[in-house]
Structure 1
Amino acid sequence: MTGTILVISHGHVDFSAGGAEVAAYQLFAALGKAEAARKVVLLAGHHAGEQSGLITVLRNNEFLWRTGMRDWFKFQSGVRDAVTTSFRRFLGGLKPDIVFVHHYAHMGLELLREIRHTCPRAKIVLTLHEFQAICANNGQMVKRGSAELCFGESLQACVGCYPDRSEEDFWLRKHFIRRHFDAVDRFIAPSEFLRQRYIAWGLPAERIAVIENGQPEGARLAPRTLAPGGLRNRFAFFGQVTPFKGVDVLLSALANLPRKQRKDIHVEIHGANLANQDEAFRNRIEALRRPLMEEGVLHWPGAYHRDDLGRRMARIDWVVVPSVWWENSPVVIQEAFRFGRPLLCSNIGGMAEHVRDGIDGLHVGVGNTSDWGETLVSAAADMEGWDRFYRTMKTPLPVERAAERYLAWALDEASPDLGASPRLVADI
C-alpha cells in the first residue's frame, strides 16, 4: 500500500459527465474502495462561476478547483497565481506519492510542473484522452474548413488550418507543451491508435501504456423482446450532438433511403448540446430531423443522466457511432459492450480499433451516407448476425481491473503493453 494518491480531472461528474471526467472519477472511487493507498483524493477543475483559483471541499476527499484557461492555444492557466498559490498549498498539505492527471484543460499545463516542483518524489501519470496537444483544432485532427481527416501534424499543415498564425507559433506551441510533459513520468492512452499518434509526435514509446477506460461490472441486458416477425431495427446514438459526432451523416443516410426501406427503421438520438452549436449546424440538423420525426422513423429523446442509460439501451438493438473524426476510445463503445448492444461505427481510429468488425458489430465508411443507409437496412434484417454479435462481443475491462493496471504502471510493475496479467493491487 502506498501513502497518498491524488487523481486530477478537468471536471467533476456532478457537473460535467464527459468520458474523461467519468474515467477519472471511476479511478478515484475504485482506488479508494480497494484501499490502494492510505488516502485517495480527487481534485476536479470547476470552471462555472467566478474563476478565483480557490480550492474548496465538495465532499469527503473530493475537491473543486475554481480555475480556467487564459490561453487555449498553449493551455496556460487563466487565473493569476492559481497554480503557484492555491494548488501549491494544496499539494504541500497533501504530499501525494502518486498523481494521476486525467487532463490539463481548464486548469493549465503549469500544474504538471508545479506537481514536480512541490512533490519532487511523486510519480506523475498523465492520461491522454484525445489529441489536443498535437492538434490546435480542438484536438480533432480534422482540417478546418474542409473537415478532411488529418493524418499527422506538421508546421506547414497546421498553418494551413490557421493562416493567421506562423510556423514559429506552432513550433513554440509544440515545444512549450513538450517541456511541460517532461515533468510526467508515464503516460496512459486508452487506445493503441492514440498511443501511436503521440509516439509519432515525439513521446517515447516506452513511456506510454495502453489501458482502456473501465466499466462497472454487471450482467449485460437481455436482448430486446420482439413481437412475432419483429426485426432488430432499433438504432440509437448516445452522446454530444456536434459536427464531429456525425449525427448529420446518420440523419442524411436515413433521409436518403427509399420510403419503403425507411419505414422499417427506427432511429433514436439520445444527445445533448445541440443548442450550443453554431447556427449553420443547428439549421442543418433541424432541416434533416423534422420530416423524419413527422414520419415516425426518428425519435429524439435528448439528453440523459448516466444512471438512466441502461433503461434506454434496453429499448434498442444497436448503438451507432457515426463520428467523422478519429475518436480515441469513446465511452459509449464500452457502455454498449457493458449492456450487450452490438455497434455500428465509423471505420477509422479508436472506433475501428475497439469495435472488431464482424465480431462486436460492423464498420461503416466514415461520412459515407450511402454506406450508412445500406448498413442500417441490412443490419435490421440480419437477425442471425445480431445474435452472433451478442454472443461474441467483448466484455469491457472492469473499472477495478483498470485501476489495478493504472497503479501497476505508476509503480513500475508493468511493461508498456502491460502484458496479460499485471500484479493485483492487493499484491503491491
Structure 2
Amino acid sequence: MGEDAGRAQRRDLGGVKQVSSTVLVIAHGHPEFSPGGGEVAAYQLFCALQNRKGVKRAVFMARHSSSDWTGQISILRNDEFLWSTGISDWFKAQSARPHAVTGTFRKFLKTIRPDIVLLHHYAHMGVEILREIRNTCPSSKIVLTLHEYMGICHNIGQMVKRGSAELCFGESLQACVGCFPDRSEEDFWLRKHFIRRHFDAVDRFIAPSEFLRQRYIAWGLPAERIAVIENGQPDGARHAPRTLAPGGLRNRFAFFGQVTPFKGVDVLLSALANLPRKQRKDIHVEIHGANLESQDEAFRNRIEALRRPLMEEGVLHWPGAYHRDDLGRRMARIDWVVVPSVWWENSPVVIQEAFRFGRPLLCSNIGGMAEHVRDGIDGLHVGVGNTSDWGETLVSAAADVEGWDRFYHNMKTPLPVERAAERYLAWALDEASPGLGALPRLAADF
C-alpha cells in the first residue's frame, strides 16, 4: 500500500468528517472466553465500527486463551480472529514467540492492510507488536488504549505494593525495588525505557479516565498525546426501579466482575459479617463473579470461610458467573451495584453498565471509581478497604429510599458506544471532535 493509499480517505457529511478505512481492533482477550471489562469495551467498539458509515472494514483480533496455542491465527467468525504468542518475560512484557510476531502476525497485517489500529492491550501478545505494526504498516495510525498501569507497574499493573496491598501513589525506582527486592534499580530503569521505546511506535494514546491519564503523564508520556475517551455502552432503556412493598428497603446489593484479591469481594463479605445480626438480616448481597477457582489457595480459603456462614444465614447469595446477555436481567433484580476494589481502577465497565441499566453505585473512594461515580449525586463513595465504612454504608443506603430515588434520577446516560467510536477515529486521524474543544479530554459527558 502506498503512502497516499494507506491514509484514511475523508469526506464531509453534515459537518462531521467520516472515514473510509480499514480499522483493526486488537484486544488481550475475546469476551466470549475472557469477559473482562477491557475485553468487553474493545469488542463493543469493534461492533460499533462495523456499523459505522464510512468505515470500509472493521477487524477484531483477540488473544487466544488456550495454553497450548502455537502462535497460529484462527478465524473465529467473519472478521474476528484469535491469536497469541504468550509472554516469556512479564517484567518487560516480551513475547514468548517473537518469530510469531515477525512471521504470522506480519503476514496478517500485510493481508488486512489496516489504515487505523486501535490496540487495547499488548498483554499475552508482547509489547513488540507495537513496533511490528509500525514497521509493517508505516502509514497506519496506531492508537493504544491504556486500561491499567502495566507499563508503569510490574505488580500486574495495579500500582499496589506487593505483599502489604498498600496503595502506591507514584512510580520510583526505590519503591519498585521495595516490591521486588530480587530486582535492581537498574533493572527497573531498563524496563521503563524498554517499554517506553516501544510506546514510541504509537501515534496517540487513550485513557478511559483522567486519573489514569495523569498517572501516565507523570510516568513520562506527553500530555498532548493522551486523550480521555470513556468506554462506550450499547443503547438500551434504563430499568425501572425495583418494585418495593410498603415500607420496603433498597437493600439488594450486587457485585459484578472478577473475584480476585484486587476487586475487594473479601472486604465486602467482611463488612457484612461484622455487622450485628439484627442489622445484617435486612441486607441482601449477591456476588455475580467468575474466576475464583483461578486464584491462589490462601485467597480461595479466605473467601470460602467468609461466604459459607453468610450463605447459610441467607444474607449472601452467590449466583456466580454470567453471560453478558443476562446482565440486564440480573441488574433488574437489585438496587445497588457495589465496586469495592482495593486498587486504583481505571474505569470499570461495570460502572457504565450500572448507569446504563439505572442502578446507583457504592464504590471505593479512589482512582477512576471516584472520578466516575459522583458522591452524593449518583452514588456513594466508601473508604477503600475499610470494612467498618462498608458495613455502615450498606445499612444506611438500604434504609435511604428517598436518597436512592434521587441518585436514580441524577444518573447520566453513559457515552453511547457509537459516539465513542466516532471519538476514537477523530483522535486517530488528528481531527477535532465536534463540539468538544481543543483539550485532550474527549469524553465531555463525564
Q: TM-score over 0.5 for the alignment?
A: yes
Identify the residue that residue 94 of structure 1 maps to in structure 2.
Answer: 112
Secondary structure of 1:40's partner?
strand
**Cα offsets for 1:292-332 (capped at 9, x unmatched):** 11111111111111111111111100000001110000011
Aligned counterparts of 1:269 and 1:140: Cα–Cα separation in 2:
22
- Cα distance in 2 for residues equivalent to 1:38 and 1:138: 37
RMSD between superposed Cα atoms in Å: 1.2
2:124 to 106, 113, 126: 106
Structure 1 residues 273 and 419, CA gap change in structure 2 (3 angstroms): closer
Aligned to 1:156: 174
Question: TM-score normalized by structure 1?
Answer: 0.97
Instruction: Measure the CA separation in 2 of the matches of 1:36 and 1:269.
Output: 42
1:295 is matched with 313
Q: Distance in 2 between matches of 1:269 and 1:56?
A: 34
- Distance in 1, Cα, partners of 2:224 & 2:443: 13
Equivalent of 1:413 in 415, 424, 431 = 431
Matched, 1:391 2:401: no
Task: Give yes or no for the alignment of 1:142 onto 2:160.
Answer: yes
Of 332, 345, 348, which residue of structure 1 is paired with 2:350?
Answer: 332
Tell me, what secondary structure is at the counterpart of 2:263?
coil
- Equivalent residue for 2:29? 11
Q: Answer with 149-158 or 30-39: which moved more.
A: 30-39
Pick aligned residue for 2:380 from 362, 372, 375: 362
Cα distance, 1:3 vs structure 2 = 2.4
Give the conservation status (yes or no) of the 8 Å contact 2:230–2:443. no
1:315-369 CA-partner distances (Å, limit 9, x unpaired): 1000000011100000110010000000000000000000000111000000111
> What per-residue deviation string (whole Å, max 9, x for no partner) do you get for residues 211-233 of structure 1?
00011111100111111211100
In structure 2, what is the equivalent of residue 228 of structure 1?
246
Secondary structure, counterpart of 1:42 in structure 2: strand
Structure-2 separation of matches of 1:66 and 1:350? 29
User: Aligned equivalents of 2:249 and 2:441: distance in 1?
Assistant: 41
CA contact (8 A) 1:47 1:67 kept: no
1:265 is aligned to 283
- Kept in 2, the 8 Å contact 1:83–1:111? The answer is yes
Q: CA-to-partner distance for each residue in 1:73-100, whole Å, 9 max, x for gaps?
A: 1111112401000111111122111110
Amino acid at match of 1:418: L
Counterpart for residue 166 of structure 1: 184
Aligned residue pair count: 421
Shift in Å at residue 206 of structure 1?
0.2
Is this contact kept in 2: 1:50–1:66, CA < 8 A? Answer: no
Aligned: 1:52 with 2:70:
yes
- Aligned equivalent of 1:404: 422
- d(CA) in 1 for partners of 2:356 and 2:67? 36
Deviation sequence 1:16-71 (CA, Å, 0-9, x none) = 11111111111111111013321111111213143322112211111111421111
For 1:82, the equivalent position in structure 2 comes to: 100
Task: Indicate conservation of the 8 Å contact 1:142/1:149, yes or no.
Answer: yes
- Cα distance 1:47–1:299, how it changes in 2: closer, same or farther (>3 A)? closer
Asked if structure 2 preserves the Cα contact closer than 8 Å seen for 1:215 and 1:398, the reply is: yes
Deviation of 1:202 (Å): 0.2
- Residue 3 of structure 2 is matched in structure 1 by none
CA distance in 1, matches of 2:161, 2:242: 40
How far apart, in 1, do the equivalents of 2:298 and 2:112 lie?
48
Q: What residue identity is the alignment partner of 2:372?
A: H
* Structure 1: stretches of 5+ with no match in the other structure: 422-428
Q: Which string of whole-angstrom CA distances, capped at 9 and with x for unpartnered residues, describes residues 189-248 of structure 1?
A: 000000000000000000000000011111100111111211100001111111111111
Following the alignment from structure 1 to structure 2, what is the Cα–Cα distance between the partners of residues 154 and 179?
19
Instruction: Give the whole-Å Cα distance in 1 for the aligned partners of 2:412 and 2:108.
Output: 41
Q: Give the Cα–Cα distance (whole angstroms) in 2 for the partners of residues 77 and 420 of structure 1.
A: 37
**Selected match of 1:374 from 389, 392, 409:** 392
Match of 2:81 in 1: 63
Residue 41 of structure 2 is aligned to residue 23 of structure 1: yes
Give the alignment of 1:139-218 within 5 angstroms: 139-218=157-236
Paired amino acid for 2:268: L
Q: Greater shift after overlay, 257-266 or 410-419?
A: 410-419
Of 361, 365, 368, which residue of structure 2 is paired with 1:350?
368
Partners of 1:56 and 1:419 lie apart in 2 by 35
CA distance in 2, matches of 1:339, 1:7: 27
- The structure 1 residue matched to 2:56, chosen from 27, 38, 53, is 38
Q: What's 1:116 paired with?
A: 134
- 1:424 maps to none
Is 1:10–1:107's contact at 8 Å kept on the other side of the alignment? Answer: yes
